[in-house]
Every structure is written in C-alpha cells, then in structure tokens.
A and B are shown apart, each in its own frame.
Chain A
Amino acid sequence: MHKSFTQTWKGAVLAALGLTLLGGASAQAQQINGAGATFPAPLYLKWFQEYKNATGAQVNYQAIGSGGGIKNITAHAVDFGASDAPMNAAEMAAAPGILHIPTVAGAVVVAYNVPGVGPGIHLTPAIIADIFLGKITKWNDSQITRLSPGIKFPSTSIFPVHRSDGSGTTNIFTTYLSEVSSEWGGADGPKSGKSVRWPNGLGGKGNAGVAQLIKQNEGGIGYIELSYAVTNVISYAAIRNAKGKFIYPSVNNTSDAAEGVTLPADFRKVITNTSSVTGYPITGFTFLLVYKNGTRPEVKKLLQWCLTTGQAGAAAQQYAPLPPSVKRRALAAVASMR
C-alpha cells in the first residue's frame, strides 16, 4: 500500500510538472487572437475559417463587443481588436500608435417581432427616437399605423431591446438618433456612445443577445446588424432617410451610403444619416484595431487578405464591401505597419 501510494503521488507530481514545462516551452503561440465587435462577427468567423482553410493560419476571434475589443487591444492582451465605434480621444491617448483599418460597412436595422405583422413596416427617425425614449408604447399607436396603411397592427405593447455591453452597434444607432432627434441628442437626452443611459427597455449581450430577446418577446423592437436579422429571419423596418425616401436596408443601399462619405485620414468616422437619395441612413464602417508598430507579421498578412480576397465574400453575408477608394487607403495603412 505504501508503494502504490507513493507511486501515485510521484506520478501525479511528475505529470503536472511535465505539463507545466511543455506549456512553458512554447515561446510564441501560433494562433492569432482577436476580440471585439459582434456587429461583423458572422462575417469575421466565416472569413477566419476560410483563411485557415486557405493558409493554415489559425485565427481565434471572440465576439465580446466593441467596448471589450478596445479594452483588450489597449491592454495588449490580443493581437487585434475590432470595433464599429471609432475610438474616442481618451481611448486613443491610452493606446498610442493604434490604427483603425476599415474592413466592411454594415447596416443597423430596426428589427421587430409584432404578431401578424411581416417585414418592411415604415418608420421615421422621430418615431424610432420616441419608441426608444418610451413615448410611444403601443404598436397600434396612430403615428406608427399611419405610415404603413396596408398593415393591421395589434395593440401589443412595445418592448424595446438594447445592448447591455459596450457596443459599436449602439454607438452607430445612438449617433444616428442624436443627429435626427433634438430630444435624444439634447442636454437631458441619452446622447450617443458605446453605452448610453437607456430610458427604458431590456439589455441583451451582443448582437446575438439582442436578436434573441426580440425573437422571444412579442412586441419586441431592437437594433441589430442586417446579417443577424436575415440569418435569424427577424422582420425589420424601412426607414425614411434624409432625402425623405423610405429605404428597406440591403447591401446595395448600405454601399450607397458608404460611397457618399469622405473618411478622415485615420478613418475614424461614423457614416449615419447619409445624404445619398438611395442610401440607408443607419450604417457604419467596422474597424480592426492594430498597432502600427510591433504587431506580428501574421496579423498584417491577415489584414491584407481581409481587404482583398475577403471582400468578395462580404455581400453574401449582408455586409457591403469597401468602396474602392477606401479599400486603397486601407491597404496603404496596412502596408505602413512595421
């Protein structure tokens, strides 16, 4: 009994030691690790799986939200971050040398779950703001029904859903609402940002969490990326743009909105409320965040792949590829990495 006991423990200790040493022997992990936005996550996950099949390079992307992406790249805990909200001045100061590389543009759709009502109800910016401010509370409110005369609305209560985590999707949506609603953007309004003080409603984790809450709750309304609405068969609204046209979001009118804008040298801009007649008003570029200096060369290769080969597959996943001029500038920015 003594021997077997001693041997058991010796074995366990040796095994533990061996495991520890073997793990420690790897000076450099081979995988590329990235974290951030859930907005482009469906596309990124497919891209990185294709990239692995094509090149053998392993990319591990965790969709934890844009806020988490910015935090982790600032702490150098990941190889790249991802955000659809450009970093603000304070965040830029905390991460000197950070680059914003736009990858695709996407549309934030106003998705809803109203019993008996199909896709494509018409909404104006003012109504969306009033719904999320809690001023319109029933689906058969005359302000809503008036815009979609062909549709019979039930008296179901409106159940607004927003994000619980720091989110670039929230930033795009609230930037838009601040632009179109003086009450939203005013001194007492929620204003814009990755997380804001929501007057009412329930929070979900990530785009997927919001989509799930909309699906589960009759009367639910929330904002998610187009891809999530299409894949999960959730109805979404046509929204009146700055030129007075009701636009039902698609890849094409996301492109129309994206092509009309001039991005600053560092790409940090949200492109809401487009002046394009055919453009959808709530759109944004999504960015990969990398350091100009000291980023692993494998990451640079990955970025180049995303900006070239990857672009072709974007539309099938409901994302708009970069306009040619933006793509050229993005590639130049990647080339400048050392």
Chain B
Amino acid sequence: MSTTLSSPPNLLAKSTGNVAGRKLKNIVMLTLCIIAAGLAILVLGLVLYFLLSKGFSSLHIRLFTQLPDNIDTSKGGMAQSIFGTLVLLGVSSAIGLPFGILGGIYQIEARGRFASLVRFFTDVLNGIPSIVIGIFAYAAVVFPLAQRTHGQGFSAYAGGFALGILMIPTVMRTTEEILRLVPFPLREASLGLGATRWRTMWSVVLPAARGGIITGVMLALARIAGETAPLLFTIFGNQLFATHKVAGVSVPTLTAPIDALPLRIYNYSQDVDPNHNAQAWAGAVVLITLILVLSIAARFATRGNMQEEK
C-alpha cells in the first residue's frame, strides 16, 4: 500500500528534474509547427501573388462579357467558359448530390454489412484519378451518344456525369460524418413521439445537420470546379455559347459541347499567342476567386448552423 502511495510523488519528482529538457523540447516542437504552418501559408500566398501579379492586369470586363475573338485575339473574352463552368457545376450537382447525400444517409441508417461495403467502395472511388473517370465518362456517355445521334456526344451532360461521380465520395463521406454528430437522443425523442423514421430524418436529423452537409457540398463543388482532366474527354470545348430557346428564353443546351474555365486556361496557356497567355492568367484568377467564394460560403454555412443550434 505504501509503495503505491509513494509512486506518484516519485514520478512527479522525476519529471520536475527534467523540466528544462521538456521546455526545450516544447520550444523546438512549437517552432517546427509554426514553421510548417508558415510554409503552408507561404505557398498559398505565393500562388495568389503570382496569379494576381500575372493575371490582374489582364482582368478586364471583356473577359466576362465577350466570346473569344479569333480575328483580333486581344479583344476577346471567355464569357462562354465562365458560363460553362457554372452550368457544369449545376449539372454535376444534379447528378452527384442525390447519390452522395442519400448514400450518406443510408450508411448511417442502415449500418449493415452492405453499408460498410458501400463505404469501402466510396473510399476506393475517392482514390481513382480524375482522368480515369474522364475516360470512363467518354466510354459510358460520349461514345454511345455519338453512335445514336451522329455529331453528338460531347456535352454538358457528359462533363456533369464525370464531375458528378467525382463529387459523390466527398459528399457521401461528409454527410455520413455530420449525421453521426447529430445526438441520438434527438432521434429517440422524435421516434418516441410517434414520428416515422422518414419523418425523423427529414424534419429532425437533416435540419440539424444542414450546415455540415452544405459544407460538404461546397467543398465538393470547389474540388470539381478546377478539374481539367475529366473535361478533356467529355465537354470538347466551345468558342461560343451553347444555348437554345425554350419559349423565347435562352437556356443552356446540355446536349451540346460546352466550355469550362480550366479547359480554356489549359488550352490558352499552351498557345503561342501572348494575348491568349494573358487571358489564361486572368482566367486562373477568375477560377480561383470562384473556388475561394465557394470555400468561404462553406464556412458561412457551418457558422450559421452553429449559431442556430445555440
């Protein structure tokens, strides 16, 4: 008994003897952490600095309002690329979000062996390079469509299909994680009051998890907004707006080739034309701003949710 009592003071004595060494260790590790964090911020800062210093001067209102001018390249813009990227984000959300969110709900609610199998395969899907998804989308969508209707195939659908697949793992994982955080007593209370599982999910669990789910969606959108590889195989690119009229209103033609910012940047950066090079830099500034806005929006979505919970 006496030995057990005396051992804690012994430990204490030992550690107090090492206090200088521990302090040193602490300082060294803290410095390393600060350097690592500083480097991460420095890299981001350098990227932004280079982008802005090269791209800001070419940032012109024309970029947003004009199509590429093939006769005088200094006059053109990339309105169709910005438009195309927004359309693609919409189409890929329509294709990817239902699978992502419903899949996340399934994994929480079903919890069986199949659910863990789904989780495993989603993680595998997350690891597949985006260019492979692009080739898959070409084989699964573009080629069959072209065989059915000659001259068609490359389309916003095909691009949205590829990008939608890329969204699924991120959205499914974040949805699952966030639903796991919703306290179980909440569900029990709802079920105890006689609500069905469906009603409990729709009216209690999902609203509580709204901010987290939206964050996941925004992060997935931010990820796919910059993807180039899958687009090379699916959307073909377009120097013009792909629109048609429905009841007198211009709407995006989803069955036609479409342009996107990353693709335009890729093509223009490899061009010998200095006007195109400059527009590629400016396009990169627009793209990174778009992604930044999505990321910041994600932060706001989470913050709003937490305030509501208070």
Contacts and interface: CB of A to CB of B under 8 A. Distances in A.
Contact of B94 (A19, A58, A75): A19
Contact of A29 (B97, B251, B256): B256
Contact of A76 (B94, B150, B271): B150
Contacts of B254: 19-20, 22-24, 26
Contacts of B256: 26, 29, 31, 33
A261 interface: no
B57 to A, nearest CB: 20
Contacts of A62: 236-237, 257
Contacts of B97: 12, 16
Interface stretch (B23-31, B152-160, B175-183, B220-228): B152-160
B90 A79 contact: no
Contacts of A329: none
A23 B88 CA distance: 12
B143 interface: yes
Contacts of B240: 31, 52, 58, 60
A52 to B, nearest CB: 8
A30 interface: yes
A221 B187 CA distance: 72
Contact of A23 (B236, B251, B270): B251
Contacts of B119: none
A286 B124 CA distance: 46
Interface in B119-155: 142-143, 146-147, 150-154
Interface stretch (B6-14, B46-54, B202-210): B202-210
A23 B87 CA distance: 11
A121 interface: no
Given A19-B90, A212-B271, A29 B202 contact: no
What class of interface size applies to chain A in its complex with B?
Answer: 35 or more
A173 interface: no
Contacts of B146: 75-77
Contacts of A146: none
B239 interface: yes
A143 to B, nearest CB: 29
Given A5-B207, A206-B270, A49 B257 contact: no
Contacts of B40: none
A172 interface: no
A205 interface: yes
B217 to A, nearest CB: 10
Nearest to A19: B90
Contact of A75 (B143, B237, B252): B143
B175 to A, nearest CB: 13
Interface in A44-65: 45-46, 48-49, 52, 58, 60-62
B215 to A, nearest CB: 14
A78 interface: yes
Contacts of A60: 236-240, 257
Nearest to B80: A60
Contact of A49 (B71, B150, B152, B238): B71
B151 A20 contact: no
Contacts of A12: 93, 97
B265 interface: no
Q: Which of A25, A48, A76 has the most CB of B within 10 A?
A: A76
B70 A19 contact: no
A297 to B, nearest CB: 12
A211 B142 CA distance: 32
A35 interface: yes
Contacts of B152: 29, 77
Given A35-B236, A209-B270, 10 more contacts: A16-B93, A23-B251, A26-B253, A31-B257, A48-B70, A60-B237, A61-B239, A76-B153, A212-B270, A232-B273
Q: Which 7 A-B pairs have the closest CB atoms?
A: A23-B254, A16-B94, A45-B70, A211-B272, A29-B256, A77-B146, A79-B151
24 contacts: A1-B207, A1-B308, A2-B203, A2-B207, A16-B90, A16-B93, A19-B251, A22-B254, A23-B253, A25-B246, A29-B152, A30-B253, A31-B242, A45-B70, A52-B240, A75-B147, A75-B153, A76-B151, A77-B153, A206-B270, A209-B270, A212-B271, A232-B272, A296-B151
